[in-house]
Homo-oligomer: A and B are copies of this chain.
Amino acid sequence: MQLTRRAEYAIRTMLDIASNLDDQPLMSKEIAARQDIPLNFLIQIVPELRSAGLIHTVRGSGGGIYLTKKPSEISLRYIVEAIEGPIALNQCLIGDASCERQPRCPIHEVWALAQRQMLAVLEATTLAGLVDQSQSGKKAGKTSAAADVASKINNEVELEV
């Protein structure tokens, strides 16, 4: 029921690259240091992000990583699924698989709903939103990416703090 370190690192990495304003590619080594990711582990994650089409890598001296899409087009869900595969709260919710026990088990719809609620948040959160927030930083003060997302989703969740 928990995000793996791989996926967490992938998110940090993507966010790190999205925050980079220069147009020169970022090296794994820099990212690893800045984001507290074991370099040798990151080096294993980067190719996965690439085969998922999220980043473009340049080999050789002076090489590095840059995004293939605009940060506003990259959602948290997309990053997580690139690393972990489809997000599913229960086995029967993967793809089109349904409960093998009953045509419609009463619990199924509930899990499906819980999952949709969760995915809605992860989908509405883009790298652009996250970068905006951390850069506006002290200015707006209370505006969090989560608050933005919460208002996007039509649900009046009250955020404490």
A contact residues vs B (CB 8 Å cutoff): 1-4, 8, 11, 15, 36, 76, 84, 87-91, 101, 106-107, 109-118, 120-122, 125, 130, 133-134, 144-147, 149-150, 153-157, 159
Smallest beta-carbon distance A145→chain B, Å: 6
A1 to B118, CA, bound (A): 12
Q: Are B149 and A2 in contact, with the CB atoms below 8 A?
A: no
Q: Are B15 and A106 in contact, with the CB atoms below 8 A?
A: yes
Q: A1-B4, A1-B87, A113-B146 are in contact. List 10 more A-B contacts (CB 8 A).
A: A1-B1, A1-B3, A1-B88, A3-B111, A8-B90, A106-B145, A109-B144, A110-B122, A112-B146, A117-B155
Offer 30 A-B interface pairs, CB within 8 angstroms, sorted by A: A1-B3, A1-B4, A1-B84, A1-B87, A2-B88, A2-B89, A2-B91, A3-B91, A3-B111, A36-B101, A76-B110, A106-B133, A106-B145, A107-B145, A109-B159, A110-B130, A112-B146, A113-B146, A113-B149, A113-B150, A113-B159, A115-B118, A116-B157, A117-B120, A117-B121, A117-B157, A118-B118, A153-B155, A154-B156, A155-B155
